[in-house]
Chain A
């Protein structure tokens, strides 16, 4: 490495700095591209809900939890994550179709991921977390709580049952429930 004078040292460092800045710019552009063109963004929702009144809200009352298909055919799965269980403990969703997951916490911070997919969000008391996804693999997937929420955290997990589109049969009220495993 050239080092006869301080000037030579700095010229060498400058060439490397240009290479660094160029690669960093390239990485940023790739991320920007994924966000703007492919809509790959983190699950930011900024929708609030009073954690002490979750069970009284029309949307997250027990009779409305789980998967529901609305008049427009949109599939929405609503889940309450609470110390130390998911309500309901199993949800059924169709494969190869857009599904919106909406999750709330009535008590402390939780978080969920679905194994083998990119579904991942924190569930913070006070906010409705929302994730849009398309499940591609069928079968029973694990959906554990991935954020420490207290002594029973390790036992807090649930099932996402992905069924082929043809076998996904919501009832007359639009709700679809897990049959017994």
Chain B
């Protein structure tokens, strides 16, 4: 096995093992909240589980997957050796150390603050320091991606950077901007409190800093799915990408508009005025644009592929697509879930309407559907697409892969549709159990049980996914054709410098962030805001 393959596999297996374990926690949590008796249930165990599930899914699955896929993309799309492989391995080690440092206190019940921290609640410092190490290792990845693109551009003056790599670097730049908020919060507020150096926290400031990260992080997670839509799905469908330029524009728009919008997570908070909430709401509306452009461009690419395969009429091309291929099937299922998840998201971001759903199961349903559904199903498809290259073997069964993808999509719908409904009925988030003797809550019981069935399907699908990946390593058929990214119908020979780099866009992000977050953060330093006393959850004496 070659060195790139080893590096990629180390990252992706770390990501997927964390994912499978977190799925087990997830199903147990759903049981705890249902009227069904649950083995091992205590409130303490429940919040250990929620913290572990959230941190594993949000920080480990995503970060390690994106790093591994990025390394793979850099070498495969640029067709030159990845620079700094040793540094990449060192960063992997630091990240893994960080995961262990964070997981141990969580499982010991000394960091039950969920993955969103909620200071002044304060857990073991090891938890936060471990997560900072994971972030630090991802910064090394960002640097390697940027250097790889620079080296390629120097060797190929005037040529457009391949779209898959352009998008990967866009994500690296987005991530560097994104992590500023949470890192400042952890390093200057939370970790000093956890170490006992300070005994108060400015909660308004910490919530504002976390909101800086909280929306853009979702786009960091989502980038690989979009990279697959643009540069893998058209090839898998037997066609070509409709427009390379629109791909570049969409990725740039994500960099611009996923950052200055985080305050829509604080619509119901008292520490910001309606004025800035409105400004960030308006910018949030704009972040729907790249998604709507993507839906069009990818649908057009699929239509092109379907017609090449003999599809006729207005919709005949849909039936002509090779749905038996996992990448095509996953793209279709991801788009289906995107309609529901995106529609729900429009309600969440709608300023006034947010009051109807804030901190209810609706929100849990929304991000499970859009991240767990649309995004993670594409992580599966990417894994299935690149694993032959990584292992040098073909999959023994595409059927098992298709069953796994269907099971995931159906399970996600069965789990999240009842959650949306329950959220509208007022079912609130983040509680360990409900009192089903209460007449208001009793009426929710049967829908909660339906959602548990969806959760069971998801766990079955997650385990089948691990089985399917392991099957590659045992398989004997050598890989047939080398992996390649999709080309555009009209591959660009030249693109404007602005669509081939990020200088201009970085400057624009800086301006947008100054407008959106300048005063909202500065207010905590200009005005004297009261601070809250640290509340430890790990039993340590202050």
Q: What's the Cα separation between A174 and B112 when bound, in Å?
A: 43
Interface residue tally on B, bucketed by range: 35 or more
Q: Is the CB of A113 within 8 A of B286?
A: no
Is A150 a contact of B121 with CB atoms below 8 Å? yes
Query: How many Å lie between the Cα of A41 and that of B431 in the bound state?
Result: 27
Contact A124 B296, CB 8 Å, known A154-B432, A154-B433: no
CB B340 to nearest CB in A, in angstroms, measures: 17
**Which of B50, B118, B270, B281 is in CB contact (< 8 Å) with A44?**
B270
B346 nearest CB neighbor, chain A only? A27
Whether A108 lies near B246 (C-beta < 8 A) is no
B325 contacts chain A at the CB level, 8 A cutoff: no
A31 touches B268 (CB 8 A): no
Within A69-114, the residues touching B (CB, 8 Å) are 83, 107-109, 111, 113-114
Contact A113 B428 (CB under 8 A): yes
Residues on A with C-beta less than 8 A from B39 are none
Most-contacted residue by chain A among B202, B355, B429 (CB, 10 A): B355
- In the complex, chain A residues 25-65 whose Cβ is within 8 Å of any chain B Cβ: 27-28, 31, 34-35, 40-52
A181 at interface, CB cutoff 8 A: no
- Chain B 268-313 residues near chain A, CB threshold 8 A: 268-274, 277-278, 281-282, 285-286, 288-289, 292-293, 296-297, 300, 303-304
- Chain A 105-138 interface 0/1 with B at a Cβ cutoff of 8 Å (1 = within): 0011101011110111111111111100000000
Give every chain A residue within 8 A of B489 (Cβ-Cβ): 3, 9
B257 to chain A, nearest CB (A): 11
Query: What is the CA–CA distance of A77 and B379 in the complex, to the nearest angstrom?
Result: 49
Residues of chain A at interface, number, CB under 8 A: 67
| Contact flag A5-B490 (CB < 8 Å), given A44-B274, A147-B359 | yes
With beta carbons under 8 angstroms apart, the residue of A9, A44, A114, A145 that contacts B242 is: A9
Q: Could you give, for residues 1-38 of chain A, a 1 whenever the CB lies within 8 Å of some chain B CB and a 0 otherwise?
A: 10101100110110011001101100110010011000
Residue of A113, A120, A127 near B204 (CB, 8 A) is: A127
The answer to whether A20 touches B270 (Cβ under 8 A) is no
Known: A9-B243, A127-B270, A151-B43. A16 touches B355 (CB 8 A): no
Closest-CB distance, A30 to chain B (whole angstroms): 8
Does A144 lie within 8 Å of B296, measured CB to CB?
no
Residues of B within 8 A of A144 (CB): 428, 431
B438 within 8 A of A: yes
Cβ contact within 8 Å between A3 and B430 = no
A130 neighbours in B (Cβ, 8 Å): 270
Binds A, one of B181-189, B381-389, B468-476, B526-534: B526-534
Q: Taking CB as reference atom, which chain B residue is nearest A107?
A: B535
Interface string of B243-278 (1 = CB under 8 A from A): 101100000000000000000001111111110011
Given the interface pairs A1-B304, A3-B304, A9-B489, the reply to whether A121 lies near B532 with Cβ below 8 Å is no
For the complex, what is the distance from the CA of A47 to the CA of B273, rounded to whole Å? 10
Are A10 and B245 in contact (CB-based, < 8 A)?
yes
Contact residues in B for A48 (Cβ distance below 8 Å):
529-530
Contact A128 B270 (CB under 8 A): yes
Separation of A124 and B351 alpha carbons in the complex (Å): 19
Q: Are A148 and B425 in contact (CB under 8 A)?
A: no
Query: Taking each of A109, A119, A121, A141, which has the highest tally of chain B beta carbons within 10 Å of its own beta carbon?
Result: A109
Instruction: Out of B46, B121, B431, B532, name the residue touching A51 (CB < 8 Å).
Output: B532
A145 contacts across to B, CB distance below 8 A: 428
Query: Which residues on the A side are within 8 Å of B530 (C-beta)?
Result: 48-51, 125-127
Interface: A153 (CB within 8 A): yes
Cβ-neighbour of A122 out of B114, B269, B277, B438 (below 8 A): B269
The reply to whether B426 and A115 form a contact with Cβ atoms under 8 Å apart is yes
Asked if A171 lies at the interface with its beta carbon under 8 angstroms from chain B, I say no
By a CB distance below 8 angstroms, the chain A residues around B202 are: 126
Contacts of B246 in A (CB 8 A): 13
Which one of A24, A42, A126, A149 lies within 8 Å of B354 (CB-CB)? A42
Nearest neighbor of B50 in chain A, beta-carbon distance: A148
B-side contacts of A128, CB under 8 Å = 270
Write out the residue numbers on chain A whose beta carbons fall within 8 Å of the beta carbon of B490. Answer: 3, 5-6, 9
Contact B271 A3 (CB under 8 A): no
- Give the residues from 454 to 504 in chain B that come closer than 8 angstroms, CB to CB, to chain A: 489-490, 492
Contact between B355 and A147, CB atoms less than 8 A apart: no
Pick from B245, B438, B530 the residue with the most CB of A within 10 Å: B530
Nearest CB to that of A24 among chain B residues?
A: B285
Chain A 139-166 residues near chain B, CB threshold 8 A: 141-142, 144-154
A28 to B121, CA, bound (A): 37
Known: A130-B270, A142-B438. 13 other contacts (CB 8 A): A13-B245, A13-B293, A20-B293, A46-B270, A46-B273, A50-B530, A51-B530, A107-B120, A107-B532, A108-B118, A116-B426, A123-B270, A148-B114
Q: List 16 A-B contacts (CB under 8 A).
A: A3-B300, A6-B490, A13-B242, A13-B296, A20-B292, A24-B292, A40-B353, A42-B277, A44-B274, A46-B273, A111-B358, A113-B426, A120-B358, A122-B269, A147-B430, A150-B121
| Closest 6 pairs between A and B when the two form their complex, measured CB to CB | A115-B426, A40-B352, A125-B532, A146-B428, A127-B270, A126-B530
